[in-house]
Amino acid sequence: MPTWKVTLEYDGTRYRGWQTQKNTERTVQGVLLRAAREVLGEDASIGGAGRTDAGVHAIAQVAHLRARKDLREGEIAWQLNSKLPPDVNVLAVEKAAPRFHARHDAKSRTYLYRFSRRRTAFGKPYVWWVKDRLDRAAMGRAAKLFEGRHDFVSFCENPEGQESTIVVVEKCEVREESEELQFRITASHFLWKMVRRLAGTLVEVGRGKLDAAGVEKLLSQKSDAPAKWTAPPSGLFLENVRY
């Protein structure tokens, strides 16, 4: 059975996340499955590298596509895009090993969170406008505390449903880009709502309401506080998946 590696971008505003669910509204995986069915004339198997939540975007999501029918990579990409809605776009399709799995084979994932420092007429669906003055340097120092192997139970929705809440964070930083602050994190994998809760925690640091000791305490002791600080999905992007 042919297998392809599909790289795609999408605006998650109108979707209930990546993964198809029973009796739910539209999902990115769902519209991609429908497009593949129309192109290939058969049901296909599609799985993504990251299960982005409702309203979360992707700059370079990766999926595996399996079907019996064999087509050229360029033909599949063109035909899928002709069937997909305008807010989902296939960037590339390449032949993959038969057992390639977008999620299980991924070595790391990088997420980007964008904070706007001003009210914007055009970027509202893609940033979180934080009206308070934020201390970028303090946020950057706090972000570095997340690097390494930690128990992120305080930053996970429904931790009881996880096999483990231990995550290895390779890199974590906050940079200033024009009128934005950009929080970028690379890790082996991510827990449900983990990045949005980390982003919200960094905003508390930037506002001066939480210090480094408070961040370290969240990593060493379970707390419900990050749930209250969960950042909105609008500013979050799955930026890159490494294999």
What distance in Å separates the CA atoms of residue 160 and residue 81, rounded to the nearest whole number? 39
What's the token pair of residue 238?
Answer: 């799955």
Tokens of 121: 């007429």
Q: Which residues of the chain have pLDDT under 50?
A: none
- Please list the residues that pair with 129 across neighbouring strands: 116
pLDDT of residue 73: 80
pLDDT given for residue 187 in this prediction? 97
224 carries an active-site annotation: no
What CA–CA distance (Å, rounded) separates 33 from 135? Answer: 44
| Alpha-carbon gap, residue 1 to 75, rounded angstroms | 18
Whether 211 and 218 have beta carbons less than 8 Å apart is answered as: no
Q: Distance (Å, rounded) from C-alpha 26 to C-alpha 192?
A: 20
Burial class (CB in 10 A: 0-12, 13-18, 19+), 68: exposed
Beta strands in the chain (DSSP E): 3-10, 45-48, 57-66, 88-95, 108-116, 128-129, 148-151, 166-177, 180-187, 236-242
Distance CA 10, CA 87 (A): 5
CATH 3.30.9.10 fits 113-235, yes or no: no
Helix crossing, 136-144 with 194-206: angle to 10°? 140
User: Is 139 strand, coil or helix?
Assistant: helix
Q: What per-residue confidence (pLDDT) applies to 176?
A: 95
Catalytic position from the list 43, 53, 135, 211 = 53
Residues 175-207 pLDDT 10s: 999 899 999 999 999 999 999 999 999 999 999
- pLDDT given for residue 151 in this prediction: 96
Q: Are 39 and 74 in contact (CB under 8 A)?
A: no
pLDDT for res 24? 64
pLDDT the model gives residue 23: 67
What residues does each domain of the chain span?
A: 3-95, 113-235
Fold assignment, 3-95 = Alpha-Beta Plaits (3.30.70)
Residues 1/68, Cβ–Cβ less than 8 Å = yes
Distances (CA, A) of 190 to 153, 166, 235: 11, 9, 17
Who contacts 117 (Cβ-Cβ below 8 Å, separation ≥6)?
129, 130, 134, 179, 180, 181
Q: What is the pLDDT of residue 21?
A: 79
Vertex 229 angle, CA 125 and 14, to 5°: 25
